[in-house]
Structure 1
């Protein structure tokens, strides 16, 4: 491990040294010239045509299709996370549906505080609300992995609040995915890879009298993933295009469990069962899920007579996933030995179907450039629970259950007009954009089959009732079923102009009305002063908001827990449910934010450096409360007339946070002539979040001891659950038919919090190095070989007292996952 650490540090140092050495060489070398590249035009964060990426009032990162392609992972979220220091993509395991739909975060904020657009149009969210102890607990975010990288032309990431420009969710920023618009050409890609790794183990001793011992480390070759994708541009008439893309992905699961030292079988005549020495003690799936996924995407547009343009896109994805829960040993009271004599590993197997369609038209009306569009998106998630049982039914229990599921859909109608007005008092025409949006959202939840949730009446030998419902994931009940809808309408005005030759200013105001919680008004003021072509200052101040999602307002699930032999219903209640109201819940309202940013832009020819500081204050952040199952809570509910309620949890406003940090990006292109072309990037992000207020309840405050609505673990997850800093040094090199990418990413310290300080676990800073080499034959066929996490970096192995089942040897908060080295090959054919 020390050798690996030393090699990682050397690779990181070489990458950074090469960047600065190249910068110095560029400045000193006179015989080699650098041709100025055309400015990259962006459409995110501004409605002015032909605004370049370095001329905006706020920081915008542009990630090209080639950057996304030159990585081992074909997941859009993962590819973006290694390209952008301000974006993180945790990879938790044993988190139910979150194993299948993992959310990304921007600037350390919540996943649902980043707005995702496709071609500047709002993308629908996932139907899943994250409920378990992972980053993004309580959020329902857009699943960007429903978009195949083959259809992506570029990704623009606005690192600034933009609620006044785009509406709800844009508190931390905006991710705008721009689709290909090719009418000719195409490319097919086959990628295959897998994990070749070794990891350390920490294990407790066997029970007294046991003779089994654990290894100190373990080799694994797993997670084999094959991805076949293609895109093709087709002509539509004389000027139109139809670009289609398809992708199929087959991913095997990864398994990073510990060696299970627990006694697995009941003793026989006071002695250990001989099977204890032969049973497989690596009995958990702790890692990435098994996935089979098919995706289709089409984007089209055409110019008609009179300057009218029509456009649209459609997508469909079917994803079948399998992940696991905690292993139940043979002697576990939740097992029926006649069904599983060696214990069982319950499998959660969701099916996710995601589809969308949008059509639009743009035209000129006098001096106005008009645009109207109508879009629809839907995401459904249904759960099948496999290799499990309902212990309360006994030996006749089924082993596969339909547990029900949920769906979310969104319909959006947009109308926008943009024009420029010449004004003698200004140094440039005033760009005026006005628009309106109407949105309808629905959320539904359907019940599973009765055996997935009911109590079958079996009593254990000790007199306790057996556990009801399908183990690992009890089905949704008819009482949980819901079908709700809401509407929202809004209008905005966006003005931008050069007040003087040097000073660019913009102002935006947006008002919205939601049928479920009322009105909101947001505003943004931004400016930029160019002291010269080489140096500028920029900044903004704004207020923003995020509406409570229908998932947060309507999700509910119930499971039966027996406490001292008495059944109690443990429920995630809707905020408006009488039980939740009795505990202090109120109808959800919008989160409110105030954002400040200030930054600089330096550029000399093609060399650029941007440094941007920010502070985001969020008030009344929506969170999922603690599990309120204490005895005094149950007694209180009984006195209120709620008999048999064992407690629960619910969504509530009330957490205030302050997030502040600095992002910096240095880009240095260098033409070394006969030695090839280099693109160096050094980018870093420093981020800190403080929880300044937690929610309280008058009802709970009156109890003694008073239960907390938002306790230590959740507070520290917000404050320290993501890297304090992240630094990326990357180099792309090309010379004729050959090329390479070297990237070193240093992840700062992360805390995996415990219920007390004694159970806290600090994940130390670690550097992850990625390397890829490419060769193009005959200008058509390109081969690539590479390794992500070349030096096999892992978070520190958890001590035994934090991994009592052996199922989770690594903390779930590790920012680069816990799978180790991934080796892959790729072949691209351009046609």
Structure 2
């Protein structure tokens, strides 16, 4: 028993002796370019998991084993250094800024990294492949991004006139004209539509993201921060680079369909993607698709008191007209929802090698879209038609009010209305429904020639139209 006790005491003494064989090392880390101290620099004892970081004054203290003789000093944007521990146990280090690390964001935008989001760069970069996009279940490119990209937003605005042709989008609450859209690294054309209604991006225009078919995309690279210094003022919100499918790997056909539970909106679509390879580097990849979406109509009951206050002259006739009309048509005959939409797309992407160092590349796309949307219904107590859109039904209810003097010709309109009302013209008048029929044709094409390693230079000349 005594021998066992002595053995245990010996082990404890050896352990304490081992723990005691350390020494304290301190130091300071600064920027070589200006001499300022660096906070948050990583200090690691080489060959161990012991480490610390510098304080706000660039200073640090760490206990290291007596056998350790090297510290690893690293910091983002600076070249990593290995420093020998001197006999005085004080280390003074000046880190050299690393130009290659500061330019990582440029490399990342065109990288082929498989990770979802690149977070070890100065700016966040999202890398999405086709599986990331199709797994959202959405049928348009802009809607897939809304489900996959933080700070990206697109809004469906079915009663905002031409906005129904395609929804405005934004990154970090900056409008569509503030995000640069690239196709294979080349700028995509802007649309001719300027958002004039009270929707996101009012007064701006942007590229039509819905014109890019999902099945033709290989991956998407998104820089979610300002890059105007490199790309120009249209990249204040960020940059989106859409990489199209290239080498032919097989033909694909996809079919989609769906509908809301009780508000209509039945839709269906079919897409076809195929192509062929030319030699070891060349290819032709093409895509064709068709999509149709029927109208959705989510009708809700209208509050008579609110319509009376907001839309009428406040007269007794107007009050009676509102109550009678909404008793007959509780939803006010409004049609609220996604408009009917039909879209056809064609896209081709190709590279043809001329020799080992030179190739011709190009891509082109054509989109046709037709949409039919509805504005708010003009109830008879809100708007009159002066007999142009209806026929009188003698003895039918008159839902109009007394005063329609709004507008530049208000007095003349009011005088004509009073005479028409007295003659019974508005008996049976139930208002009218403005509609917006939109036709969109969008095309873009890029053709270019690039070569590499010609006397140490790389050349790329291209023409993009749209």
Q: TM-score, normalised by structure 1?
A: 0.35
Show the 5 A alignment for 1:456-605.
none
Matched, 1:317 2:405: no
CA distance in structure 2 between the aligned counterparts of 1:272 and 1:122, rounded to whole angstroms? 53
Deviations 1:449-472 (CA, angstroms, capped at 9, x unpaired):
xxxxxxxxxxxxxxxxxxxxxxxx
2:169 counterpart residue number: 104
User: How far apart are the structure 2 equivalents of 1:271 and 1:369?
Assistant: 75
Equivalent residue for 2:231, pick from 166, 170, 179: 166
In the alignment, the residues of structure 2 paired with residue 59 and residue 164 of structure 1 have an alpha-carbon distance, to the nearest angstrom, of 16
After TM superposition, give the deviation of residue 113 of structure 1 in Å.
1.0
Does the Cα contact within 8 Å between 2:248 and 2:283 map onto a contact in 1? yes
- Per the alignment, residue 72 of structure 1 pairs with 137
**Residue 366 (structure 1) aligned with residue 455 (structure 2):** yes
Query: Contact between 1:111 and 1:140, CA under 8 Å: does it hold in 2?
Result: yes
Aligned in 2, Cα 1:92/1:338: closer, same or farther, shift over 3 Å?
A: closer
- How far apart, CA to CA, are the structure 2 residues paired with 1:102 and 1:230? 25
**Contact 1:358 1:374 (8 Å CA) reproduced:** yes
How far apart are residue 274 of structure 1 and its match?
7.8
1:45·1:165 contact (CA, 8 Å) conserved in 2? no
What is the deviation of 1:226? 0.9
| 1:301 aligned residue | 351
SS of the equivalent of 1:326 reads coil
2:430 is aligned, of 336, 342, 349, to 342
Q: Residue 411 of structure 1 aligns with which residue? A: none
8 Å contact from structure 1 (residues 44, 156) kept in 2? no
Aligned mates of 1:335, 1:293 — CA distance in 2: 34
- Return closer, same or farther for 1:44/1:296 CA change in 2, 3 Å cut-off: farther
| CA distance in structure 1 between the aligned counterparts of 2:110 and 2:222, rounded to whole angstroms | 18
User: Residues 140-171 of structure 1, C-alpha deviation per residue, up to 9 Å, x if partnerless?
Assistant: 11111111101111110012222232223011
The equivalent residue for 1:222 is: 264
In the alignment, what sits opposite 1:60? 125
Write out aligned runs for 1:401-420 (5 A).
Answer: none
Correspondence for 1:488: none
The answer as to 2:222 corresponding to 1:180 is no
User: Which secondary structure state, in structure 2, belongs to the residue aligned with residue 63 of structure 1?
Assistant: strand
| Cα separation, 2, equivalents of 1:325 and 1:333 | 13
Picking from 263, 274, 278, the partner of 1:236 is 278
Q: Report the aligned-residue RMSD.
A: 3.0
Counterpart residue number, 1:327: 377
Shift in Å, 1:288: 1.5
Shift of 1:280: 6.6
Q: Displacement of 1:93 after TM fit?
A: 3.5
- Answer whether contact 1:329 1:335 (CA < 8 A) is retained: no
Alpha carbons 1:45, 1:158 under 8 Å: kept: no
Displacement of 1:333 in angstroms is: 4.1
Structure 1 residue runs without a partner (length 5+): 1-42, 197-219, 378-831
Is the aligned partner of 1:351 residue 2:439? Answer: yes
Kept after mapping to 2: 8 A contact 1:190/1:227: yes
Q: CA deviation at 1:187?
A: 1.1
Alignment match, 1:531: none
Does the C-alpha gap of structure 1 residues 189 and 272 become closer, same or farther in structure 2, counting only changes over 3 Å? closer
Is 1:248 aligned to residue 248 of structure 2? no
Query: 2:388 & 2:323 partners in 1: Cα distance?
Result: 17
CA distance in 2, matches of 1:157, 1:179: 14
TM-score (ref. length: structure 2): 0.61
Query: After superposition, what is the alpha-carbon deviation per residue over 1:14-73, rounded to whole angstroms, capped at 9, x for unaligned?
Result: xxxxxxxxxxxxxxxxxxxxxxxxxxxxx9733898674466442210111011111222
Per the alignment, do residues 51 and 100 of structure 1 end up closer, same or farther by CA in structure 2, a change over 3 Å counting? closer
From the superposition, tell whether residues 71 and 241 of structure 1 become closer, same or farther in structure 2 (CA, over 3 Å): same
Tell whether the 8 Å contact from 2:179 to 2:235 is kept in structure 1 after alignment: yes
Look up the SS of the partner of 1:223 in the other structure: coil
- Is the Cα contact below 8 Å between 1:328 and 1:335 reproduced in 2? no
Q: Determine which structure has the larger helix proportion and give its number.
A: 2
Structure 2 Cα separation of the partners of residues 344 and 49 of structure 1: 53
Q: Deviations over 1:733-788 (max 9, x none)?
A: xxxxxxxxxxxxxxxxxxxxxxxxxxxxxxxxxxxxxxxxxxxxxxxxxxxxxxxx
Distance 1:94 1:238, change over 3 A: same
Higher relative contact order (CA 8 A, sep 6+): 1
Distance 1:79 1:346 in 2: 31
**Structure 2, gaps ≥5 residues long:** 1-103, 391-428
Deviation, 1:244, is 0.7
Deviations 1:659-704 (A, max 9, x none): xxxxxxxxxxxxxxxxxxxxxxxxxxxxxxxxxxxxxxxxxxxxxx
CA distance in 1, matches of 2:291, 2:322: 45
Structure 1 pair 51/339, CA: closer, same or farther in 2 (3 Å)?
closer
